Amino acid sequence: MTDHEWLAAAGPYALGVLDREEQAGFEAHLAGCAGCRAEVQAFREVAGLLAHGAPAAAPPAGLRERVLAEARQVRPIGRRGLPGPWLAAAAALVVALGAGAGAWRTARRAAALEREIAARDSMLAALLGPEVHVVSLASTGRAPSARVFWNQRQASFVVTAFDLPAAPAGRTYQLWAIAKGSAPLSMGTFNTDARGRAVVMLPADSAITRLGTIDLCGLTEEPAGGSPQPTEQPRLVGTWRHTD
């Protein structure tokens, strides 16, 4: 395989989608290739941020027994009472209602999870392919705090950030595409969570697509909603790697 073909295999390897033979060959190559090892680590960081899950919704354990116990404390209605059948029926009704509510919640969560998975699948698709370019953003002398993947075919950016403190209230982070001879073009805005992390997908504006190539990517802090042009020097900057 060529150097380019090995590099293109880094993403699928990090996501665990290579077959055994491909995996064995790539791992043998990794032992002597620092560039591919760095690429695998970058994809693994992204894959870690893409983890998702949702707990199943179901009636709480022991609900029927608790309902029966409470119902036995109620004075029977009528002269003879017949508490057994009525209590059983009441308990069954409450359990059925609880199960119905649980099923409804489960269905809602399942639908939400399906939408989330579809969004994550779209992100993963945007991360892979020979048309994807990547840039690591860092301040001088420090480790990268963000990476941006540009899928030209899909006209989209996937932004991953880590250890980047959230912008203050009323402020946001804004990415800029910087090409020689052109004014910076906004790539969109985002913010990080309390842990300083983010995974967001942003559309690539047609003006950026028309540039064909981008030399640098910069990150600034701007007022909420973004700015038409940067209002400060980039806090983070990186040079695009054109992998195609």
Specify whether 145 is located in the same domain as 182. Answer: yes
Q: Is the pLDDT of residue 158 over 50?
A: yes
Q: Does the residue 40 lie in any domain? A: yes
Specify whether 137 is located in the same domain as 227. Answer: yes
Q: Is the pLDDT of residue 12 over 60?
A: yes
Specify whether 234 is located in the same domain as 157. Answer: yes
CATH number for position 177: 2.60.40
Q: What's the whole-number average pLDDT of the chain?
A: 74
- Coil vs helix vs strand at 193: coil
What's the pLDDT at 56?
A: 46
Q: Does the residue 138 lie in any domain? A: yes
Q: Does the residue 70 lie in any domain? A: yes
Q: Is the separation of the CB atoms in 129 and 15 below 8 Å?
A: no
pTM of the model: 0.54
In this prediction, residue 53 has a pLDDT band, given cuts at 50, 70 and 90, of: very low
User: In this predicted model, which residue has the larger pLDDT, 4 or 31?
Assistant: 31
User: From residue 5, how far is each of 9, 57, 97, 116, 135 by CA, in Å?
Assistant: 6, 45, 57, 31, 19
Structurally, the chain folds into a number of domains equal to 3
Q: Is the separation of the CB atoms in 220 and 237 below 8 Å?
A: no
Q: Is the separation of the CB atoms in 4 and 31 below 8 Å?
A: no
Specify whether 216 is located in the same domain as 143. Answer: yes
Q: Check the CA dihedral 221-223-225-226 and report its sign.
A: negative
Specify whether 142 is located in the same domain as 195. Answer: yes
Specify whether 31 is located in the same domain as 115. Answer: no
The arithmetic mean of pLDDT across residues 105-111, rounded, is 62
Q: Does the residue 98 lie in any domain? A: yes
Q: Is the pLDDT of residue 52 over 50?
A: no
Beta strands of 94-212 (E only): which ranges? 132-137, 146-151, 156-161, 171-178, 185-190, 198-203
Which of 116-120, 135-139, 177-181, 239-243 is the least confident region?
116-120
Specify whether 93 is located in the same domain as 149. Answer: no
Could you tell me the residue range of the domain that residue 27 belongs to?
3-49
Q: Is the pLDDT of residue 161 over 70?
A: yes
Specify whether 17 is located in the same domain as 79. Answer: no
